[in-house]
């Protein structure tokens, strides 16, 4: 079979002649021959496989520069590159889905048909952070204020100041009231400030491993709790005797579970279970999950670093939150459980209970 004209090659590869000319200019799909008289591009039949691969990758939404990289790889590394790209796409899609849910929830609260909470609610809370039994220093930060609850788990050589800087950047939210219509922008601005603070700790030109942190924080707004979450620290809610995990881990292993490539049991013992795909720091995607929760009297919230969630079974966490009467007692018992399980990591907990305020 001889060379194909650009029209015939376009039809066979399902790429337009315009796209083929662009890919030629980019060096992505160079014709086998260009007629010196007419300038017509001619393609060899054996180029069809690469052309079809380019077409498929474009349908995935992959940028041309990355397609060029994939096409230069052998089959095995190319498949890994596509898998990595798609995991990032799904993470970005999940972030947009969460933002859409936040907006729907946020706007629905402006519906005049929705009645305000009849009785004013407040919180009582406690925070505790511990180095654990293996690590030499504590890179976690836990905070429980009058309106702000936060846990940050730092990593890298300057992980401790990174986690502290992220939480400090949110503390101004304690002061004053935030109008409901401004809540989304205030939360987004706060995360940006936290990210800038972490970058300031790492310093200009630093490597991604220098300093970074997770951040899971809740802002009390009267009868609602607004959540900001990035990384693999967690938020749990105990309501009516049942324990719910509210946050979704931003880890490579969790993305593999979401894709069905790992079971939750396999993920629990995976050697890369702590590899983050979202965090505050150099080289990491920092798009946060944001949500609003209507609080109920008697609710208990637990914010914790993975130093608790990876070593203490959920059943034990449920037992402590259900049976302890005071937040201070709960955080002490949870930290003790983590250390009794070997204390392989720093462990931080914040427990908050929703109560009815006296008029």
Question: Among 6-15, 35-44, 226-235, 327-336, which range has the highest average pLDDT?
Answer: 327-336
Query: Which residues pair with residue 160 across a beta bridge?
Result: none
Q: What is the pLDDT of residues 52-87, one digit of tens each?
A: 888 889 888 888 888 888 888 888 888 888 888 887
| pLDDT at residue 143 in the model | 98
Residue 191 in tokens: 């995360």
Nearest-angstrom CA–CA distance, 211 and 202: 5
Are the C-beta atoms of 327 and 124 separated by less than 8 Å? yes
Give dist(CA 341, CA 134) in Å, integer: 11
What are the tens digits of pLDDT across the range 78-127? 888 888 888 778 767 766 776 676 667 666 655 444 444 456 788 999 99
Among 28-42, 69-83, 255-269, 328-342, the range of highest mean pLDDT? 328-342
Per-state percent for the chain, helix, strand, coil, to nearest 5? 40, 25, 35
Q: Map 294-333 to HEC letters.
A: ECCCCCEEEEECHHHHCCCCHHHHHHHHHHCCCHHHHHHH
- Residue 214 has what pLDDT? 95
pLDDT tens sequence across 322-332: 999 999 999 99
Q: What is the pLDDT of residues 211-262, one digit of tens each?
A: 899 999 999 877 778 899 999 999 999 999 999 999 989 888 887 777 677 7
The one-character DSSP state at 276 is: B
CA–CA separation, 127 and 349 (whole Å): 6
Give the Cα separation of 46 and 32 in Å (integer): 10
Q: What is the pLDDT of residues 168-211, one digit of tens each?
A: 999 999 887 776 667 767 888 888 999 999 988 877 656 656 78
Q: Is the pLDDT of residue 355 over 70?
A: yes
Do 6 and 17 meet the contact criterion of CB atoms below 8 Å apart? yes
Q: Check if the beta carbon of residue 260 is closer than 8 Å to that of residue 237.
A: no
């Amino acid at each position: 079979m001889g060379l194909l004209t650009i029209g015939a090659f376009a039809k066979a590869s399902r790429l337009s002649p315009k796209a083929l000319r662009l890919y030629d200019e980019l060096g992505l799909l160079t014709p086998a021959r260009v007629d010196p008289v007419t300038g017509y591009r001619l393609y060899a039949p054996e180029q069809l496989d690469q052309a079809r691969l380019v077409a498929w990758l474009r349908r995935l939404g992959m940028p041309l520069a990355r397609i060029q990289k994939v096409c230069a790889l052998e089959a095995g590394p190319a498949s890994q590159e596509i898998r990595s790209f798609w995991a990032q796409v799904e993470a970005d899609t999940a972030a947009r889905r969460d933002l859409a849910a936040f907006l729907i929830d946020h706007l629905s609260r402006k519906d005049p048909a929705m009645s305000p909470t009849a009785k004013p609610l407040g919180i009582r809370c406690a925070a505790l952070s511990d180095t654990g039994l293996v690590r030499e220093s504590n890179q976690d930060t836990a905070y429980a204020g009058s309106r702000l609850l936060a846990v940050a788990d730092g990593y890298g050589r300057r992980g401790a100041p990174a986690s502290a800087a992220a939480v400090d950047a949110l503390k101004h939210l304690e002061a004053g009231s935030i109008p409901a219509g401004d809540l989304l922008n205030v939360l987004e601005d706060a995360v940006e400030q936290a990210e800038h603070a972490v970058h300031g700790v790492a310093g200009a030109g630093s490597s991604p491993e220098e300093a970074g942190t997770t951040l899971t924080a809740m802002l009390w707004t009267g009868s609602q709790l607004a959540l900001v979450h990035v990384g693999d620290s967690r938020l749990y809610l105990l309501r009516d005797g049942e324990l719910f995990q509210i946050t979704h881990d931003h880890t490579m292993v969790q993305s593999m579970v979401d894709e069905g490539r790992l079971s939750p049991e396999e993920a629990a013992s995976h050697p890369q279970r702590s590899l983050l795909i979202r965090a505050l720091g150099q080289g990491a995607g920092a798009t946060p999950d944001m949500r609003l929760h209507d609080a109920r009297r008697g609710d208990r919230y637990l914010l914790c670093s993975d130093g608790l969630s990876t070593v203490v079974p959920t059943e034990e966490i449920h037992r402590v939150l259900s049976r302890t009467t005071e937040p201070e007692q709960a955080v002490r018992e949870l930290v003790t459980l983590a250390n009794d399980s070997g204390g392989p990591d720093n462990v931080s907990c914040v427990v908050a209970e929703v109560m009815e305020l006296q008029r």
